[in-house]
Amino acid sequence: MAISRKLLNPGEEIVVSTRTHVKALLLPLLALVVLLAIAVVVQVATDNAAVHWIVWILALLGALWVFVRPLLTWLTTTYTVTNRRLITRRGVLTRRGHDIPLTRISDVEYEYDLIDRLLGCGTLRISDASTDGEVTLHDIPHVEETQRRLNQLLHDLHSAASDEGV
């Protein structure tokens, strides 16, 4: 799950490494169950072997689209906080990455609704000094702890910078 250690700079350590909460797979899983139920109903209702083949081929293609695609996206999306930067990586065929140095982060906040609280996840919003302004990470497991650890890193970083300036 963690980013490869060979992509870290000398002296850089991973503090938090996570991916989106498994909650992101609940709707695709429900869609898969409905798709398979429809295929079974059509098979039971018809007596034609050709229709059975067509239905199950369509069910397989549908399963790939509604479940396997989101599963692969979930597996390949990671969020890593090191002692120097926030690293996001996502994508199955085309990989996308975004790195924000901790020195550019100006604010970290979290938000979670009732369902998020029940499932133990939430949204983390990180404001930085770039033109993009904000990075939103949805469905982060243990979002309060992640926010607290990130704030502690920022505090330590700013304390060290102010100590050097004295």
Supply the pLDDT for residue 46: 92
Same domain? For 63 and 132 the reply is no
Supply the pLDDT for residue 70: 95
pLDDT digits (tens, 9 = 90+) for 57-83: 999 999 999 999 999 999 999 999 999
pLDDT at 129 over 80: no
Confidence of residue 124 (pLDDT cuts 50, 70, 90): very high
Return the residue matching tokens 């396997």.
Answer: 68
Q: 3-state SS of the chain: helix, strand, coil percent to 5? A: 50, 25, 20
Q: Which of 72, 91, 108 is the last residue of a domain?
A: 72
pLDDT digits (tens, 9 = 90+) for 21-50: 999 999 999 999 999 999 999 999 999 999
pLDDT at 100 over 60: yes
Contact between 143 and 123 (Cβ < 8 Å): yes
* Euclidean distance between CA atoms 75 and 163, whole angstroms: 41
Same domain? For 84 and 150 the reply is yes
Same domain? For 87 and 117 the reply is yes
Rounded to two decimals, what is the model's pTM?
0.81
CATH number for 88: 2.30.29
Same domain? For 141 and 157 the reply is yes
Contact between 83 and 12 (Cβ < 8 Å): yes
Same domain? For 45 and 117 the reply is no
Confidence of residue 8 (pLDDT cuts 50, 70, 90): confident
Supply the pLDDT for residue 135: 87
Phi-psi region of 30 (alpha: psi -120 to 50; beta: other; left: phi over 0): alpha
Confidence of residue 1 (pLDDT cuts 50, 70, 90): low
The two three-digit tokens of residue 115, written as one number: 């369902």
Q: Which domain holds residue 45?
A: 26-72
Supply the pLDDT for residue 9: 83
Supply the pLDDT for residue 3: 75
Return the residue matching tokens 């798709």.
Answer: 35
Supply the pLDDT for residue 36: 95
